[in-house]
Amino acid sequence: MLRSRVIPCLLIQDKGLVKTVNFKNSKYVGDPINAVKIFNEKQVDELIILDIDATINGVDPDYQAIEYLANESRMPLCYGGGVKTAEQAKKIIQLGVEKVAVSSLAILNPNVLIEIERLIGRQSIIVVLDVKKTFFGTYDIYINNGKTKIKRKLEDVLEELENIGVGEFVINSIDNDGVMKGYDMVLAKKVRGLISTPLTILGGAGSFDDIVELVNEFKIIGASAGSLFVFKGVYKAVLISYLTEAVLKKIQLISNKF
């Protein structure tokens, strides 16, 4: 039965699992493989793993690490970081990953997505757009871990990429990253009104109620979070967790109304 997906998002830096706040001050929180093992036990819907330094450092995807993660994962896995060519995307899929995420590539060389679609299928292409709210209430797109602002409107980029054909958009709020005070619902509503492609919202979830609120508003949507699933309590002790059965049932009931 169709329902909104709830997706932990793990960030990789120097082969370790890290968490950031507003894309800054990365904090080491453990071993990615151990996190995957725990999420396996908790039977999560899906997992997003992003190597946040691969593209900015100009390195290729770490295929050995990807293979280890894919072999360990018993849930659908999306991997992003360092993808510059269709052949690289194909190799990642061949290692056992279900979806390949791209960000800078989709902005700087979107036509490569056409070739990626030919090789791995539209459903396996995920575009991650990192956005930040402006003083005027609009949203700018950034690449390179939030360091480079793109001089194009969010609306235009979404339209172009949807016309090219991607399987899903992940909209990541830089302002809300790691803050744990709730999703940017205005941003989610704006993007949902612009596209018909499957959508996942990332950045800001600090409680299960935040996820329920997002699902209640949009019914069938991806709700992704990082800090919520790796930290516990006000002092942010590292503890890998997932939704309770009660919350999962609530999300299912809401989705069923769609």
**Catalytic residue annotation:** 130
Instruction: Determine the Cα–Cα distance for residues 50 and 100; give it in Å rounded to an integer.
Output: 10
Of 166, 65, 186, 162, the residue nearest 125 (C-alpha):
166
DSSP H helical ranges for 57-153:
63-72, 86-94, 104-108, 112-120
Q: Which two tokens stand for residue 211?
A: 């996820």
Q: Which two tokens stand for residue 209?
A: 């109620």
Query: Phi, psi (5° rounding) for residue 116?
Result: -65, -40
The answer to whether 69 touches 77, Cβ cutoff 8 Å, is yes
Residue 12 identity? I
Q: Which two tokens stand for residue 81?
A: 């970081």
DSSP assignment of 77-101 equals EEEESS--SHHHHHHHHHTT-SEEE
CA distances from 150 to 32, 140, 147, 157, 164 (A): 31, 7, 10, 10, 19
